[in-house]
Amino acid sequence: MGEGALEYADRAALSSNCMLRGLAIKERALALGFDLAGIAPVSIWKDLKFSRRWVEKGFNGEMRYLENPKRFDPLLILPSAKSVVCVGLIYNAPLPYSTEVEAGNRSQESEVRSQNAEGRRQAPQPRAWISRYAWGRDYHGVMRGKLEQLRKALAMLAPGIETRVFVDTGPVVERALARYSGIGWMGKNTCIINQEKGSWFFLGVILTSLEVAPDLPAPDRCGSCTACLEACPTRALVEPYVMDASRCISYFTIELRGSIPQEVRPRIGSNVFGCDICQDVCPWNGSRQLSVLSYQQATSAGRLRSERRHETKPATTNDPRFYPLIFEPDRTGISDGAIPEVLPTDDGQRTTDNGRSATDPAGFSLFNPPLAALASMSEEDFRRIFAHSPIRRAKYRGWLRNLCVAMGNSGDARCVPWLERAAEHPDPIIREHAAWALGRLRGE
């Protein structure tokens, strides 16, 4: 065999090995419990240049960590990198979306107002919304554990290779890499969307010096749809595929440490941690079709139940770590400077979910929780309850600030006593937001 033929044979063997490696890695990722897996090349310069321009326009707000130069060149993180393993893990619990819950709440409030004319019922307790990714255990630990197992599998496949693991914590643009790995396309809401599973999944990546054949990027299937742009309350999606994060409700309720701009507060609605609206309305995420009442009855009995009227399109998780946390916060030992007492009901009794007594051991869940229950937490409660939750990122000060905004938007006068206490809080940020909420409830 001639020298040219030998060289061709070597290249063919290398190409075959790269493809087999990719198949083996993806099979192992799925066996470890990931729902999606793909291989991306390191050289995704077009998307990384877009990320650099995005930061230069100031769309990152106060999130200075997004300015790290390493984010725009993976080789600055791992100079030997040749491939990127990308994985996705579904966190979508089979429960209604925030937009469906809000519509149901408005319908119930309308019914109550009609019945109140005849003196039949009292209005339901005001409720809050927490982004569904934060209902359960902190995803960073769950994803990291699985990725470390996958990293070990890579090391066994090719001893001596270099790897770096990232789960939304390092200088890596996960979404850009995921797009090139084929596990989904970048939606107009800037989320990665998979045709079969929707967009409710966490992303993780492994940079590796192992050469692996990359997958083909998934085709963009957003078409002419602009549902996410039209639904965003703060118009954070300034154009298709471009989000001004400094205008996003998630940014205001999680990342921003100071005062939320007054013109934005009414648009935040009942969101106290994050926002799901742009994913709720995405056609690729379908519809939950599960009644809120069925879920609340299930949690009051101490169990989760997903009685759907029909099967829904997006994938859901069976991992209980991503289901809404159910707990009974300790209502003793309110610390100095905290705001004691929950919102009173009409009879003056403390309540949790569905008007139950606070002594009910079933407690309440983080799915559409009553503002009364969230407002009952002292700083010690907050730190203990959310020790292993993404919610701790907002910090207690931000938590109280966000509760003030949600109460101001609730239109419920029963929030006034709690807000009056908050208006005397030692922290000026909390005082300011409480005063704003009181003025809004009083029509000032």
> Which positions are catalytic?
168
Q: Could you please report the per-residue DSSP string of 115-134?
A: HHTTT--PPPPPB-EE-GGG
H, E, C per residue of 231-280: HCCCCCEEECCEECHHHCHHHHHHHCCCCCCCCCHHHHCCEEECCCHHHH
Sign of the Cα torsion 71, 75, 77, 83 reads: positive
Q: How far apart are the first and last CA of the chain?
A: 90
CA neighbor of 85 nearest in space, from 133, 46, 32, 36: 36
Strand partners, 89: 202
Gap between the Cα atoms of 40 and 50, Å rounded: 17
Strand pairing category for 192-193 and 129-130: unpaired
3-class secondary structure, 15: helix
Q: State the Cα angle at 253 between 434 and 297, rounded to 5°.
A: 90
CA neighbor of 176 nearest in space, from 166, 185, 163: 185
**Residue ranges of the alpha helices (H) in 57-89?**
none
| The length of the chain, given as a count of residues | 444
Gap between the Cα atoms of 357 and 373, Å rounded: 11
Gap between the Cα atoms of 306 and 298, Å rounded: 9
